[in-house]
Amino acid sequence: MNRIENCRIKSTMLGNEDHGIFTCYLYLEGDGWGCGFGGYAMDVWTEPKKRRVGSAYGMEFIKAILRTLELERWEQLPGVLLRAETEGVGGKIVRIGHYMKDKWFNPAELKEFEHIA
């Protein structure tokens, strides 16, 4: 059963992970727990260019985080209070939400942008 937890963004990461895939994370901390939200590929491999290129999915992912938390810039994220719907201990964060408003971001809702480079 999923749970909704109050938490704070401790730090963020936006860049290439160790396999060269462009991604982002929000590192969240709650009352006695912490977890990362993110890790989704925000770019795709393109054979003609022989490299990874940014995707519509990646841009929409970043914009959805900022829109949900009502922020203008990525740099404003650390310290922000929010809600996280989790699968519980050992599970993932399903979606994040504004701390006071009924505004949520669920990455599964971005399927339409998944393969658009």
Q: How confident is the model at residue 88 (pLDDT cuts 50, 70, 90)?
A: confident
Is residue 26 a contact partner of residue 65, using CB atoms and an 8 Å limit?
Answer: yes
pLDDT score at 112: 72
Please provide the DSSP assignment of 66-87 as one string. HHHHT-S-GGG-TT-EEEEEE-
Mean pLDDT of all residues in 5-19: 96
Distance CA 18, CA 58 (A): 17
Q: Which parts of 1-117 are beta strand (E)?
A: 3-16, 22-30, 33-38, 43-46, 51-54, 81-86, 93-98, 104-105
Q: Does the pLDDT of residue 72 top 80, yes or no?
A: yes
pLDDT tens-place string over residues 17-40 = 999 999 999 999 999 999 999 999
